[in-house]
Amino acid sequence: MQKAVFLDRDGVLNEVLNHRVKFVNRPEDLHLLEGVERAIRQFNEDGWKVYIVTNQGGVGLGYMTEDALGEIHDRLVDLLEASGARVDDIAYCPHMPHEGCACRKPEAGMILDLAETDDISLGESYMVGDREPDIQAGRNAGTRTVFIGNRMNRKIGADHHFRNLISFSNWLVNEKER
């Protein structure tokens, strides 16, 4: 079995709700956060599978089409690959909030499906997110959990807290050496 890092998208990999972009509804709205490319490259080099698992209720709500979402994800992959980083797959939930599907975080459907397809050991893997539903999805799937963002927000109950993705990847790579 393999180990994996499951990453939320908005707020972990790219900017959202800031001065430059409110929501990512078009490819040109996608701006990677500092250090993301290097972090993912570190995961790749250290033998971790890398997946993006993202709620995209904007599709169900009509703010964008699935084709437009595909273009956004193509841009994301292109930006990462230009820096020598790669993701193994991207899973998304297009359903509206409160629709009751098994794939929308905090449910674990996206993580469980990827794990089954690629023979992932969930107990050795991490779910990384910036919101409580991300952390709960990881818990529901049986992964370890990492909260990215304001360290003062500890009530979320993640196993680990880091300021940003590169801080987590540095820790993860160095943790193995201990």
Positions marked catalytic? 8, 10
Q: Which residue stretches of 1-131 are H helix?
A: 36-45, 57-60, 66-82, 109-118
Q: What is the CA radius of gyration of the chain?
A: 15
| Backbone CA torsion sign across 129, 131, 134, 139 | positive
Residue 163: strand, helix, or coil: coil
Q: How many angstroms separate the Cα of 167 from the Cα of each of 90, 127, 142, 164?
A: 22, 15, 23, 5
Distance CA 90, CA 77 (A): 9
CB-neighbour burial class of residue 139 (10 A; exposed 0-12, middle 13-18, buried 19+): middle
